[in-house]
Amino acid sequence: MNLTDPVGDFLTRIRNAMRARHQKLDVPASKLKAEIARILKEEGYIANYKPTEEDGMKVIRVYLKYNTNNESVIRDLKRVSRPGCRVYQGKNEIRRVQGGFGIAILTTPKGVMTGRQARREGVGGELLCEVW
């Protein structure tokens, strides 16, 4: 299986699992995906995540989060920067997602962080995705 966009695949798997009301999902592990999962957990979009091994393959197990009406906490995820069209933003260009109700996830020279953190740190970077 040749994956040209592992982050896009990760977001799509989360989106599909949410719509199917799954409690958890496994995705092939990578440092970048682990960092994205960490941010989603810190911001309260997923219940938890843990790196594990399944049939000799390293995977990240993501535990999805639902509210009392059994609706997913994540309304939607949008991949912004893609392999065919990278999107970079300077520290002054990072905008708020959904009027401040969502988060932007960026890779910066200081690591993977939310748009809010990047503005605070005064760094720009590649805008990976938006979550709300």
Give the integer Cα–Cα distance in Å for 27 and 9: 9
Positions of CATH 3.30.1370.30 in the chain: 6-64
What's the CATH code, domain 77-131?
3.30.1490.10
| Segment 92-101, tens digit of pLDDT | 999 999 999 9
Positions of CATH 3.30.1490.10 in the chain: 77-131
Helix axes 6-19, 31-42, angle to 10 degrees: 40
In terms of CATH architecture, what is 6-64? 2-Layer Sandwich (3.30)
| Segment 53-68, tens digit of pLDDT | 999 999 999 999 999 9
pTM of the model: 0.94
| Segment 68-90, tens digit of pLDDT | 999 999 999 999 999 999 999 99
